[in-house]
Structure 1
Amino acid sequence: MSDLAELAARLCERLRSAGLAVGADRAARFAKAVMLVSPQRTRELYLCALATLTSSPADAQVLASVFATVFDAPDVGAGGAFSAGESTGPSREVRAPTAGSAVDRLATRDFGTLEPAELALLRAAMSEFRLATPLRRSRRKRVSPGGRRADLRETLRVARRTGGEPVRLRRWVSREKPRKLVVLCDISGSMEPYARALLQLLVCAAGGARAEVFTFATRLTRLTRVLQRAPSEALADAGREAPDWSGGTKIGDSLGEFLDTHGARGMARGAVVVVLSDGWETGSPERLGREMARLSRLAYRIVWANPRTASPRFRPSTGGMAAAWPYCDAVVSAHRLDAIEDLLTAIAGCSGRD
C-alpha cells in the first residue's frame, strides 16, 4: 500500500467486512489521528486505530485480528490491545510516507473516488485556502483624509475644540464589506462525494466569507447553522439535517423554493451565488431556465461548479446544464483538490452585476 490515506481506507473497509461498525464519523476520526500523528511504526498506527475505531473490548478484539492480518503484525493478534506498560519488542516501520505526501497524491484524485477517510485527510490542505468574495460599498462611512466628500457634522463637532472655527475640514469615504456568499449544493446520488468535499471546504477554508448554505435534491434544506461547527461534527450533522441526501434531483424546483423563501427577500441580492451540481435535472429544464433568469436579476455573480466539465468531451447541449449555462458568470469543475483554486478565483472575481 502506497500511502497513509490508502492504509486508513483499506483498514476501515476490512473492519466493516469483519462486522465492526466503522461509519464515516469513525473513519474520519481515524484519518485525522493518522494525519496528526504521522505514524512511522506499526504500533503507532495500531494505537491510532484503537483510540478512534473501537468503543468496547469486543471491538478491540476485532481490530486486533484484522490489523494483524492486514499488516502482518502477530504481536497484536491473540491478546487484543497493547497495554500501556507492555513491551512488544522492536516495532516494525509502517511502509508509507508521511501524511503530507499522502495529501499531495490525493490532490490529483477525483473527489468521486475518495473514501471518507481519504477526504478527511484533505482538511488541513483545505484550511490553507482563502475564501473571499468581492467587496461592495456599505451604507456606513468612515473618516478619511483622502475622502472626496466633506463630513460637515464631524467638521463642526471637531471645531468646538478651536472655538468654533473649522480649522480642518473632515472628509469621509464609504466603508467596504465582503459581498454575501450563498451556496446551493446538490446532494443527489451522483453528487454526494463532491457535495461533501465542498461543504468541508466551506468549513475549513480561511477568509472573511461567511456562506449561507443550502442543500437540495428533491427539496431544499438550509444548513448554515450546522456548518458553523467543527468539520467532523458539521458533516455528520449535515447528513442528518438533509433528509433527501443521495436522492433524486429537481434543481429548478429547489432553486425556485430558495428564491421564493430566501433569495428574493434579500439573501441573493448583490450576492455571489455558487451552485454545485452536475446539471442532471429530473424536473423541467424550462423551469430551471426561468429560475436561473430570476436569480441572475438578483445576484452579483453566479458561479456553477460542475465536476462533469472536467471531461474534454463535455458539452452543455441538453437538459438542465443547457438551460442554466447562459446565466452563469463562471463555470468550473471543482472536482479535485488541485481544481479548487479555480472555484475560489471565480468566487472572488470582480466581474458581475450590480
Structure 2
Amino acid sequence: MADAEPRSVSDERRGGIVLLRGTDRAGFAVAFADRLRGAGLAAGLSETGDFVHALEVSPPVSVDVLYWTARIAFVRRRGDLDAFDRVFHAVFDEAPPLPLTRSAVPPSKRDDVHLAVPHGVDEPAAGGGLPWATLPPPVAAAEPGDSPLRTPERRPSALAALAELPFEELDPRELALLGDAVRDSLARWPARRTRRHAIDPAGRRIALRPTIARARRTAWEPVTVVRQRPVRRPRRAVLICDLSESMRAQAAAYLHMMRAFTLVADAEVFAFATTLTRLTPALRRTSAEEAMARATEAVGDRFGGTRIATNLTALLDSHHGNSLRGALVLVASDGWDSDPPARMSAAMARLRRRAHRILWLNPRAGAPGYAPKVAGMAAALPFCDHLLPAATFADLAAAVRLLARP
C-alpha cells in the first residue's frame, strides 16, 4: 500500500503537483476495476496490477494522463472502449470531452467525491502523440494535415481473417500464407527414442566400454563412471495427398501444407489420383511458387479418377515403404475410391502395422450431419487414429497441432 507516501523525485518531475498524492493507489485501482467489471470489462488481477504499477512509476499530473494510463491498463479490445469511457466519466464527472489529446486542458476545479485534484496543473508537453496505438472513437472527419504523427489502427491478422473461409474462395497469395503458418506451428516437432546411445553426464545408464577403458588407468577400479542417454531423433512423417477431381478445391492448400512439412519435418510427400507420384524433391524449394509449379507438373494424372487402395499398396510395396515404419502418416482425401472396399481394408491394415499414428484429413468431415458412409472411407476408418475435417485454415491448423503432439 502507498498511504501517505513521501514526496519522491517522480512526483516532483511535473512541477511538484500530481494526482493521487497521499491516496491508497492500490485501493483506488481495486475500486475502479470493480466498477469496470460491473460494466462488463474483463478487469482482472493482471490489469489491476498493471494499473497500480503504472501509477507508481509515472504518477498522473492531470485527468488526461490518468485517463490514458487507465485505458492502456484495462482496455484490451476495441469493443470495450465505450463501456470504459462511461465508467471513467461516471467517476470523473467533469472530465474533458473525448477524444482526449495530449494538448487537452485539464479541469480547473474538481469536487471531492472521489479524489482531491489540485489546481493549477500544468499541461503535458504537446507533440508527444497519443500514448496508445489505437484510435479514439471518431467524432468528426479528420482534416488532412502535414503532421508526421500517425496513430495506426489495430486490425486482425491476415490468417485470423481467412481462418474460416473455404479454400476455393482464396487466391494464390492467401493460400501461400497457409504454408508460412504451418511452418511456424511445426517449430517443435515430436522426437522418438532410438536404439543408439550418446555419452551424457546426466544419463541414467552406465556406458560399460568407456567405463572399463578408463578403469585401466586406475588398476581396473572404476573410479570414473561414464554415463549415457538414448539418442532422440525427429519422428518421421509421411504425407499422402489425393489430387483427383473431387479434391480440386483443396489441392493447392494441401500442397502448401505438405511443402511446409518437407522443409521443417523432413517429411516424405506422395500424391495420387490413378497413379502414385513422389513430390518430396519438387516441394523442397525455397520459392513457394517454384515448388507449386514443379509439383503440379510432376503429377500428370491430377484431377482425374481415384484409386486410393491401389496407390497405398504401391507405396507399401516400393522401396519407400520402409519410410512408413514408425512414422506419423497423414492421408488427405475425401474417401471416394474406385477400388473395392475389401482392397482398401487390406491396404490400410498393412499401413496400420507399420505406422506409428494415422491421421485422415477429409474436407467434408466438418459438414453438419457428416457420416463416413462412402465405401472407401468406411473401410479405412477403423484403421485411423483420427478423422479430422480439413476445409479451412482453422481445420488444418488443428490437424497440424494434433500431428505435432508428442
Q: Report TM bin, short chain.
A: 0.5 to 0.7
Correspondent of 2:207 among 151, 155, 159? 151
Answering whether residue 308 of structure 2 is matched by residue 247 of structure 1, we say no
TM-score where L is the length of structure 2: 0.57
Cα shift readout 1:189-234 (whole Å, capped 9, x = no counterpart): 2213423212212324698521100000000000111111122111
- Given candidates 253, 256, 259, the residue that maps to 1:197 is 253
Partner SS state of residue 184, structure 1: strand
Contact 2:273 2:306 in 1 (8 A): yes
- The CA deviation at 1:111 is 1.5
| Of 290, 295, 298, the match for 1:233 | 290
Q: Which residue of 2 aligns with 1:302?
A: 358
Partner residue of 1:276? 332
Give 3-state SS (helix, strand or coil) of 1:278's partner: coil
The 3-state SS of whatever aligns with 1:335 is coil
CA distance in 2, matches of 1:234, 1:197: 13
SS of the equivalent of 2:365 reads: helix
Question: Which residue of structure 2 lines up, in the alignment, with residue 32 of structure 1?
Answer: none
Which residue in 1 is equivalent to 2:116?
Answer: none
**Is contact 1:132-1:207 (8 Å) kept?**
no
Is 1:135 the equivalent of 2:218? no
Q: Which amino acid aligns with 1:256?
A: T
Unaligned runs of 5+ in 2: 1-152
Q: CA deviation at 1:261?
A: 0.8
Structure 2 CA distance for partners of 1:344 and 1:103, relative to 1, 3 Å: closer
Question: Larger relative CO (CA 8 A, sep 6+): 1 or 2?
Answer: 1
Rate the CA distance shift 1:300–1:103 in 2: closer, same or farther, 3 A: closer
Give the count of matched residue pairs: 253
- Residues 101 and 149 of structure 1: CA distance in aligned 2, closer, same or farther (over 3 Å): closer
SS in 2 for 1:294: helix
Report if aligned partners of 2:243, 2:272 keep a CA contact under 8 Å in 1: yes
Structure 1: gaps (5+ residues): 1-96
CA contact (8 A) 2:364 2:390 kept: no
Cα separation, 1, equivalents of 2:217 and 2:393: 59
Question: Identity of aligned pairs, percent?
Answer: 42
Residues 258 and 270 (structure 1), Cα distance of their counterparts in 2 relative to 1, 3 Å cut: same
- Give 1:131 deviation, angstroms: 6.0
Which protein has the larger Cα radius of gyration, Structure 1 or Structure 2? 2
Aligned-CA RMSD value: 2.5
Specify whether residues 150 and 118 from structure 1 end up closer, same or farther in structure 2 by C-alpha distance, changes over 3 A only: closer
Partner of 1:66: none
CA 1:336–1:276 in structure 2 vs 1: closer, same or farther (change >3 Å)?
Answer: same
CA distance in 2, matches of 1:207, 1:226: 11
1:114 to 163, 167, 170: 170
Q: Which moved more, 1:293-302 or 1:144-153?
A: 144-153
- Cα distance change, pair 247–100 in 1 and its aligned pair in 2 (3 A): farther
Which AA in structure 1 matches 2:302?
W
Which residue of the partner structure matches residue 33 of structure 2?
A: none
Deviation, structure 1 residue 262: 3.6
8 Å contact from structure 1 (residues 187, 215) kept in 2 = yes
Q: 1:295 to 1:127 in 2, by over 3 A?
A: closer
Matches of 1:131 and 1:316, distance apart in 2: 33
Q: Which residue of 2 aligns with 1:333?
A: 389
Structure whose residues are more often helix by fraction: 1
1:199 is matched by which residue type in structure 2?
A: L
Aligned residue among 205, 210, 214 for 2:270 = 214
Measured in 2, the distance between the counterparts of 1:131 and 1:143 equals 26
2-side partners of 1:138 and 1:186: how far apart?
32
For 1:214, what is the secondary structure of its paired residue?
strand
| Match runs of 1:260-275 below 5 Å | 260-262=317-319, 264=321, 266-275=322-331
Distance 1:317 1:297 in 2: 24
TM-score scaled to structure 1, two decimals?
0.65
Partners of 1:206 and 1:258 lie apart in 2 by 18
Contact 1:307 1:334 in 2 (8 A): yes
- 1:105-155 Cα offsets, whole Å, 9 max, x none, are 222111133232432344443442216553222122112334332212111
Question: Could you say what secondary structure the match of 1:175 adopts?
Answer: strand
- Label 1:261 to 1:205 Cα distance change in 2 as closer, same or farther (>3 A): closer
